[in-house]
A and B are shown apart, each in its own frame.
Chain A
Amino acid sequence: GKATSSTSSKSSSSSEALSGKVTAVGSTALQPLAAKAGANFQAKNSKVNLTVQGGGSGTGLSQVQAGAVSIGNSDIFAEEKEGIKADKLTDHKVAVVGMAPVVNKDAGIKNLKMAQVKQIFTGKITNWKEVGGKDQKIVIINRAQGSGTRATFENAVLKGATAVKSQEQDSNGAVQKIVATTPGAISYLAFSYFTNKLQAVSIDNVTPTDNNVESNKWKIWSYEHMYTKGTPDKAVAAFLKYMDSKTVQDSLVKDMGYISIHDMKVTKDAKGTVTQN
């Protein structure tokens, strides 16, 4: 996919006459941000009919590919999804999400080595005492296969190894709840889902913070994408532009726990290769 980096950051003032239909479908992780930004956008452009819906990254990508919707929201690169012809789609990165392992507080774990995390999720380590925690069985909570969060996590941590079969939850909320209440549980969550009821784990003594993501010191992160097909019509283009604007990137994105695309000091491509900006 071609990554278009928008340059203009001012929302155009000629939007009075703007009208049309914008439908953004897909990633549930991106849905709240898109919905909120969409609402703001529509407040300014009342003639535009903008709807944001969930359904999952797969739905978003396949719908935009089929031309059923104008924007397909996705947590992962189109290239990573089997059955999607990525070269037919245009990628618009609108935010960055950092993720980190989270464990139940009772386990007594605050920091792990990257290799240890890998061994835990591949089933090589099964008790917390092996990594310096309590004598307690490790309960792995995975995300559903095909979920963007899981793809990102496995790309960054497992690097091709196969995760051990375990419980799978299809939502951040469920993971959050289960890890908080189940002794010995470990999973992974986007930063915005951290609560004081669970312990976010540092890896190799790097803490999961926005700053560390921006400099790629923290390796587990991904983009939030909005894909379009062909030439977007005026309304869609305006909305995408608005998403990239300072109004959204500097306030909304940060307020909602995402990382602004403008703040990134590195770029990652679909194969995971990171280059300094």
Chain B
Amino acid sequence: MEQTNFQLKKQKSQSNDWSARLHHATRATREDWMGKGISYLCIGVIILVVASMLWFITSKGVATFTQNHVSLTKFLFGTNWAPDQGHIGALPMIVGSFAVTFAAAIVATPFAVGTAIFMTEISPNKGRKLLQPVIELLVGIPSVVYGFIGLAVVVPFMRHVVGGSGFGIISATFVLFVMVLPTITSMTVDSLRAVPRHFKEASLALGATRWQTVSRVILRSATPGILTAVIFGMARAFGEALAVQMVIGNAAIMPKNLISPASTLTSQLTTGIGDTIDGTLPNNALWSLALILLLMSLFFNALVRVIAKRGQLKHER
């Protein structure tokens, strides 16, 4: 061809053979192989990490049942947690974890949704300039600091108001509420923002008020997103360790009411793991608690997926 090409020397010699020229591997082809290699490797590392984590925790967690022959029902429904004496009923911790998680989610959701509505519908300007940073800051506060404040403020406050030691489910709920609030809020904001603008316009054009538009159109079509947000918040609450451990009282007994001390899977885990011997029942029992945590996070994940699917279907059908 008449045009002067600037390709690699190798190809220059065959520049009249178009077939060869167009079939030959070039620098770009090689770059692509390399790029593929690098990125596949990286994703491979992540998969390896996840797989080995699942494997380790599962194999340690089931040892309680396979090696120590504790029955699964006893573990899940027993209420006596004294691994040193061979009693490992995990129900108090399971109940404790669920109690604080649900309580925190129930308290936090209205606050989160309200704030999100404010940020997207009522005052988007203030939302972006003032609340966005506020929310991001709340996310950024480390959980030890939440624990520290819980210990210094919430626990004495609860002791004062409701009596008892102040340690307990209600204090943990309060601390967790503040901790999951930003998570739920920022995800709710995302899902509200994702509602197509024309939904809103359609409703407004029909003469609906702002609140009618928000409650019947926007919230409705953002429901899957909000549910996802709440579940993420619950997942965070379920897995939170230090802040809860510092305020819940760590009593491995079935919680009788909201002010009685209780313990969660995570708090029992952090409290006990250092004092047990690898391979013994008390140690294995703790890993079984970790296994429950793992399974729960898998469960939360699956739930999010189901909701996302449902939401999609609703939009497609």
- Dominant secondary structure at the A interface: mixed
Tell yes or no: A84 within 8 A of B by CB: yes
Q: Is the CB of A57 within 8 A of B275?
A: yes
Q: Is the CB of A178 within 8 A of B165?
A: yes
Residues of the B chain whose Cβ atoms lie less than 8 Å from the Cβ of A182: 159, 165-166
With the chains together, A254 CA to B141 CA distance in Å?
A: 40
Q: Is the CB of A82 within 8 A of B277?
A: yes
Q: Is the CB of A165 within 8 A of B252?
A: yes
Q: Is the CB of B280 within 8 A of A144?
A: no
Q: How far is the CB of A207 from chain B (nearest CB, A)?
A: 28
Q: Is the CB of B159 within 8 A of A145?
A: no
Tell yes or no: B61 within 8 A of A by CB: no
B residues contacting the other copy or chain, number (CB 8 A): 33
With the chains together, A169 CA to B279 CA distance in Å?
A: 24
With the chains together, A199 CA to B158 CA distance in Å?
A: 24
Known: A162-B85, A167-B167, A185-B165. A146 touches B275 (CB 8 A): yes
By size class, the interface of chain A is 20 to 34
Give A174's nearest chain B residue, CB to CB. B246
Q: How far is the CB of B12 from chain A (nearest CB, A)?
A: 62
A:57-105 near B, CB below 8 Å: 57-59, 61-62, 66, 81-84
Residues of the B chain whose Cβ atoms lie less than 8 Å from the Cβ of A58: 274-277, 283
Q: Is the CB of A168 within 8 A of B252?
A: yes
Q: B275: which of A144, A167, A181, A185 is its contact (CB, 8 Å)?
A: A144
Q: Is the CB of B280 within 8 A of A83?
A: yes
Tell yes or no: B270 within 8 A of A by CB: yes
Q: How far is the CB of B277 from chain A (nearest CB, A)?
A: 4
Chain B interface residues (CB < 8 Å from chain A): 82-85, 151, 156, 159, 164-167, 246, 249-253, 261, 263, 270-283
Chain A interface residues (CB < 8 Å from chain B): 28, 54-59, 61-62, 66, 81-84, 139, 144-148, 162, 165-170, 174, 177-178, 181-182, 185
